[in-house]
Each structure stands twice: as C-alpha cells, then as structure tokens.
Structure 1
C-alpha cells in the first residue's frame, strides 16, 4: 500500500502513512491547509498524534487542495485517504466524487458554508515551502483494524440548528434544540443507550459537544429542569456553534459531577504499555537511601568548568553517568526477555531512556548509545532530549529501542516510587527528591544532602543479587563521585 493514489490524471490522494513502527491509526490534531490552498512538495499539511508522539505530515506533490476527508479530532486508520489534491488546476476535468463513507466528514465544520470563515492559519504562515519533511518515507503497513467511528463529523445544518436553539435559550425562551429534518441526532452509542434508559428523546436534547454531538452531560441535563442546566455549557455551545471553531472548555459548575475524557493518543499508549508490563514482567523493586552531598558539590564545580560550557549540568547528569557505569560493571542487567523465542537477549549497548512529563502525557525518549558518550556529550544529549520533549517534537524513533530508563520523580517533591518497567526493558531507576537531612557522617550527626533511589527490574532475567549490585553501585558512585574515574 502506498500513501498516495491517482483518481484521475488530475487528482491525487494522500493516505495516512505509518509514521512509527507498526502504527495502525493516528488522530488528526490540526489541519494547516483548507480546500483551495496551494501546496508544494514537502509542505506540512497537518499534524497527527500517534500512540507515541505528535508528528507533522508533509505532502509529496504540488497542487491545490481539493478535499479534506476528515475533520480535526478524527482517528484515522493507516492507509486511509486523508486529503485529495488537484495537481492540474484549471484543466477542466471533473472532480472525483467523495465516497459515501467520507462525504459527511469531508470538510471540517470550520469550513462549512453556514459557519464563519475559518481561522486556521494559511499554509504559507506555518508551513514554509522550504520546510523539510519530518518523515523518512511514505510506506505504510496494511491495517487489520476496523474503522473507528468518526468524531465531530456534523454537517452545517446541524451546526446552524444548534446555534439557533442556544440563541433561543440565551434569549430566555428555554426551547429545546429542534431536530434537523431528515437528520438523526448526533450521539455515540453509549449516550443513545443512556437517553433510552432515562426516557429522553435525543431530538429534544441541546447538544454541547464539538460540532453538535450530544454528550452524556447533555442527556443528564435534559432529564433535569432547564434552570439546572449550567450556564457555562450554554454559552460555550453558542460560541462554538456561531463561529464554527472549537470553544475553550467550560469550567465545571456545581451541578457537573463527572467529566469524561476519551482515552486516545499518548495516554492510550501509556495505559496499554503499563498494563502489559505490569502483568507480564514480574517486578521487583529495591530501595536505598544515600548521602549525595559530594555529588551536589561536583555538580556545582562542573557548572564552572569551561569544558561543560554551553550544556546543562544538574544532578540527573551525574545519576545517568553513575547508572551507565553500574551497567558496565554488571552488564547482565542490560537485557530483554524474548517470550516468543524463550531467550534472554543481552544488549551490548545502552539506549538510556529518560521519562519526561509533557502536555500530552508521559513519554520515554532515549539517548542512543549513551554508554559511548563522554560527560559533556551526555549532558548535551540530555538537554536536547528534554527540550524536544517539552516542545512536543519527540519523534517515534526517539522513543524506540530503549534498554534501561531513569525516572526523576524527585522533581515533584516526592521521596521515591515503585516504577513500572518500560516494555521491553529490564530495569528502571527512580530518583527521589534531594533534601537536607540529619545524617551520621564521620561519627557525628550533620546536615547532609540525601536522596532515595528505587530500582525496579524484571525478575525473570535479573536476580535479586544482580539487581542489588546495580543499585548499590549507583549509590556508591553518588556518595563518592570519584568512583566515576576509578570504576569507569
């Protein structure tokens, strides 16, 4: 399967590519173009969110956008056509007809005739012609999954009806939204069942969901007196229906007891990975509390070192280096369990994962071949990894192939935790907050910088002795950083 097809000599189609390893679907987060816009080879036309990251998609040919097959917020299977382009504008050929399955979702609500003009930025503003594609290739894998129901595919008449109904509500009439003749109210199956159980006619319910979709809250509101309907929900609906753009989320009122958030994208991937890891690999977690006063002094000295100029120096850098040295001294910990082959796969390289909290959820990019890097190189790689993650630009490739991970929960002020292994890895080190505490030092109680480390490992391939040695080595290095020289 390829990602582009020809429907005629004039129109070409671009399909959702496999932007990651084994990707089966992706959600369209944002369109950067609209029908009628001119596009060039390599220009980014949309941003999609996979199970791992947000990725921008460049189109591989020139032309004029003819049709957007799916609106923003839709989850699309790999291999589905997402955009068609007129590569020979003005030739007079007939335009290809949209398929029945995609006709109603072909153009986002923002582009519907009844809505206000779209505020989406022009391609020239956000996707310069000279911008390079972020993908290596356009090959896709055959998807065996069924099409997921499209979200937010309301047509302009429904949006206009919602706007009229809400305007009536705001004017004090309190009349329910009339059903659009010949159209079935838009609601998901669970919502329809809820309405049936409560005896609510969906045609009388005022929708507040995106593009006129009826939500569970709408059904509950319809089952209560009109006076109890949150005013915030009504005003948001009026704004979104009148402009054709998504309105900011309303603040929950006293009458709203629950908020339901669809599980998708990175959050869905996290959930699946953590459940799979927790119930596949037998986890063991060990703890050690260590005096890191000398490590903190080393960090302060390195910040003044001219060889470290231009890179970020912090305790995580020394902890990462300490773990790499511990792995070098105990190489059997750097392995993976191959269930299919019933083999332990020992890795002779370390791709060091760093857990990073981002607006889209927790991701774990890794530093490739971290074992070969000098301290300045490791510092530079850590800085780049964190910056890229915060900007939401971490690629799927950057999160693949990790062997061991560090999660720094101390930045949140907690002492430590019992981390779950990243799937396919053998160990994960949690680092707690570094605090000034009373500590016995040279026979006297003194204030010292102290932290607690926790190492979780896969007990199928890492015995308690091996796991203990790795954790003890990391602790010993952080207590006496000069061991970085003598042990490395």
Structure 2
C-alpha cells in the first residue's frame, strides 16, 4: 500500500480492476483505494501477469503492506514475482515505487522466483520493531485447492464486477462472494444483484434479533466517516467555539443573479447563491484578517494568511469532504462560480485529489440545500471560522416600516474564540450580511 502523498498511514482497498492471471501494463490502473478523504486510482509500476491479490476489497491496511503480486518477465532470466510496493531486494535490484514516498523500510519481503530452489533466508539487520507478516493472497493464481476432506473445492477468488456494481452491492450490504455472476467470464451484473436481493434470505444471513423490536446492522468505522469523526472531535475539544446568527434579506442578490444569468458571460455558467456568499466571504475577510488565520499552539503564534484557501463542504456518497478553492480571494464572481461548479462535480464523482482536501483557511457549509434554516457548524481543525448558509426562502419582512414578502436566509458563523473576539466575529458576519443584502456595496470596498 503506497503513501499517495498526503502522509496517510492506512487506506481501504475499494475496487480491484484486475484478477489473478490478468496481464497488466505499466501505468495501467489496477485498483482503487480510499484514504481518509478521497478515492485514489493506483497505476501499476510493472508490466506482467497478476500472480495474486493479497488483500480483499473492503479491507483497510497500513501503508507498506503488500497488496498485489505481479509476475514480471526479465530478459535472460526466469519469470519473477514481486509484492506491490516492495522494497529493493537484497541483491540491490531496483523495484519501482508507485506514488508518494514508497513503503516503510523492511515492511515487505520479496517472493521467491518460480522454479528456483529455496535458499535459506539471510539474516536481516536489527530493526526497532518487527514488521507485520505479509497477508495471505486473496486468490491463488487460477488454481484450485482441496479442503480437509480432499475434495476439489475452488479457492475463495475475488468476485468480478464493475465499479458501479460493487458500489451498489456495498450500498445494499451484499457480499459479492455470495453472488453468482451471469456475465461473460462470471462477471456479476446489476441484474444478478437484483435477483440475489429478491431471493429468500438464508437463516444464517438474517439480522440478529434484538428483543422484540427488530434487528440491527453493524458497519466498521472507516474511510471518510472515521476521518470526519476524528476531525470534529479534535476540533470540538481543542478550539473554544462561539456561534453567532444573522438573518439576511438577499432579495437584491437573487435579483442580480437573475440579471447576470441573462448576460452572455454567465449564460453557460452555473451561477448559484453560494458563489455570491463565497465572494462576500472573501471581501469581508480582507477587512477582518483574524477570520483568515490559524492558532499554532506548538509555536505559540497566530498565523495570518495572505490569501483565502476556501473550503466548500460537500456531501458525497462516501460522506462529507471539504475540497478547496485555492486563492479564492483573487477570483472574480464568474471565476468563483466556475470553480464551485467544477469542485462540486469532481467531489460527487469521487475524483477529488487528496492535495485538494488539505491546507484550508476558511470553510463554507451550505446546509440550505437540505431545507435547513440554521445550525451550529463545527470548525475544521486548523481554521479560525466556518460559515453555514441556511435555506433561501420567501419570508414576511419589514421594509421601511411596512410588511413585505422578501427572500431571506439565515447565516451562522462559528469561530475560534482564541483567535477571534466577539467584536471581530460580529463585524465579519455583519459585513457578509451587508454584501448579500446590497451587492452593489462591494464597489465601495
């Protein structure tokens, strides 16, 4: 398992795109892994034949753990197999690392060459801690094994299915190894899953009864959910949160959006209210620098940032992630709208790069898309503030002493009271509100 460049210590194998006996080429995508925040495709560093898959899908393993063995043909020498992400062999034969910084030293051993006589293992230099043993292969290379009774039962091979089918099976809680594939070569199809779910459940697969009220379902805590839990707990018990609320009349901003949509520049752009909020946040942050800062406990310093690395909380099928718009304060409204559209599309497709999920300075979470008016958002670790935007709706509103129907939304700002006093937090929230009430005010700042 490689380090894909974000300093991770573990990852989950989500999908295998190859199986034992398949031929792979250099840089061919052979698997997808899920880190704490993103799904990453793994390219093969070698060309050859897959000897074995060493980790089953759904399993979380440490960086440096062998996950695949590929048999490579070396000129003038017998075919050899190498554990994926293996360290250089004792004879200094170079083995390509996949991405990132590669495996931990001493974490992987080289598999014996086929047809070569077994040689006694060489003594390894002492290390502070013994590495974990390599896991057993998930599937033998196109061979069958015998069970304890001597019968020729097939080995527990990795089931063949395309990524959408694997995701559907995961959502339905179906173990693909229990499904018989009807596609070419035994590939499991969506129809196979539908037929499997309609079949009577075996008694041993029934949910455990809990009293007389029904059953229960358990899932391991991993991936995005595990990372989110760690982040919010760390934030909630490290930074003293304060939350302020403001109701804002955004009638003029919504009217401006309608006018801009009719122009040539914005005709093909997805211009959402969130783009106006993002622009207002960047303008207001320039007037209140404490909002765009970080508390460095170790150094005993407050770090003020020159630019806004704007995080946008995005709900995805795998959970909550916060990709960033880099240097958002340098973008105009049209550029922000385009960046937001690209960011959300990439996040929902599960293609957000790990580097785009780190080093943010301020976050916006749009809870209004769920019909929610307001909330108390929790800070992302290392950031001074987060703004929640509530549902935009028609509401009775007093205008010049008269009751009128206006377009209104609720803003809620949570901030770290170590960095931001009530005065700074209130000024920032008020500035954002003023810009959304009267967008023309931005021309005067």
Query: How would you bin the TM-score normalised by the shorter chain?
Result: 0.7 to 0.9
Equivalences, count: 367
Partner of 2:423: 465
Question: Which has the larger share of helix?
Answer: 1
Indicate whether 1:36 and 2:21 are aligned.
yes
Partner of 2:125: none
Contact 2:18 / 2:30 at 8 angstroms: preserved in 1?
Answer: yes
Shift of 1:318: 0.5
Shift of 1:241: 6.0
- The whole-number CA distance in structure 1 between the counterparts of 2:14 and 2:295 is 36
**Residue in structure 2 matching 1:273, options 231, 235, 257:** 231
Shift of 1:242: 5.1
Q: CA 1:376–1:51 in 2, change beyond 3 Å: closer, same or farther?
A: same
Structure 1: which 5+ runs fail to align?
1-15, 100-134, 162-179, 183-209, 212-235
CA offsets per residue over residues 38-87 of structure 1, 9 Å max, x none? Answer: 22221111000001110001112222222222121121211122222222
Shift of 1:419: 0.2
Map 1:131-210 to 2 at 5 A: 137-140=99-102, 142=104, 181=148
Q: CA 1:96–1:318 in 2, change beyond 3 Å: closer, same or farther?
A: closer
CA offsets per residue over residues 156-183 of structure 1, 9 Å max, x none? Answer: 9xx999xxxxxxxxxxxxxxxxxx759x
- The whole-number CA distance in structure 2 between the counterparts of 1:36 and 1:358 is 34
- The whole-number CA distance in structure 1 between the counterparts of 2:228 and 2:19 is 33
- The whole-number CA distance in structure 2 between the counterparts of 1:293 and 1:151 is 63
- The whole-number CA distance in structure 2 between the counterparts of 1:367 and 1:349 is 11
Indicate whether 1:423 and 2:381 are aligned.
yes
Partner of 2:298: 340
Q: CA 1:160–1:339 in 2, change beyond 3 Å: closer, same or farther?
A: same
- The whole-number CA distance in structure 2 between the counterparts of 1:152 and 1:257 is 34
Q: CA 1:52–1:141 in 2, change beyond 3 Å: closer, same or farther?
A: farther
Partner of 1:262: 220
- The whole-number CA distance in structure 2 between the counterparts of 1:80 and 1:238 is 24
State the SS of the aligned residue for 1:450.
strand
Partner of 1:202: none
Partner of 2:332: 374
Partner of 1:46: 31
- The whole-number CA distance in structure 2 between the counterparts of 1:97 and 1:42 is 16
Shift of 1:96: 5.3
Contact 1:74 / 1:152 at 8 angstroms: preserved in 2?
Answer: no
State the SS of the aligned residue for 1:328.
helix
- The whole-number CA distance in structure 2 between the counterparts of 1:257 and 1:375 is 51
- The whole-number CA distance in structure 2 between the counterparts of 1:265 and 1:358 is 13
**Residue in structure 2 matching 1:67, options 39, 45, 52:** 52
State the SS of the aligned residue for 1:461.
coil
Query: Cα RMSD over matched residues?
Result: 3.4
Partner of 2:287: 329
Shift of 1:476: 0.6
Comparing 62-71 with 269-278, which one deviates more in the overlay? 62-71
**Residue in structure 2 matching 1:359, options 317, 320, 325:** 317
CA offsets per residue over residues 104-140 of structure 1, 9 Å max, x none? Answer: xxxxxxxxxxxxxxxxxxxxxxxxxxxxxxx994423
Partner of 1:240: 178
Contact 1:281 / 1:460 at 8 angstroms: preserved in 2?
Answer: yes
State the SS of the aligned residue for 1:447.
strand
State the SS of the aligned residue for 2:246.
strand
- The whole-number CA distance in structure 2 between the counterparts of 1:438 and 1:254 is 51
Q: CA 1:440–1:386 in 2, change beyond 3 Å: closer, same or farther?
A: same
Indicate whether 1:21 and 2:6 are aligned.
yes
Contact 1:75 / 1:148 at 8 angstroms: preserved in 2?
Answer: no
Partner of 2:412: 454
CA offsets per residue over residues 257-294 of structure 1, 9 Å max, x none? Answer: 21111110111000000100111111000001111111
TM-score for the superposition, normalised by structure 2: 0.74
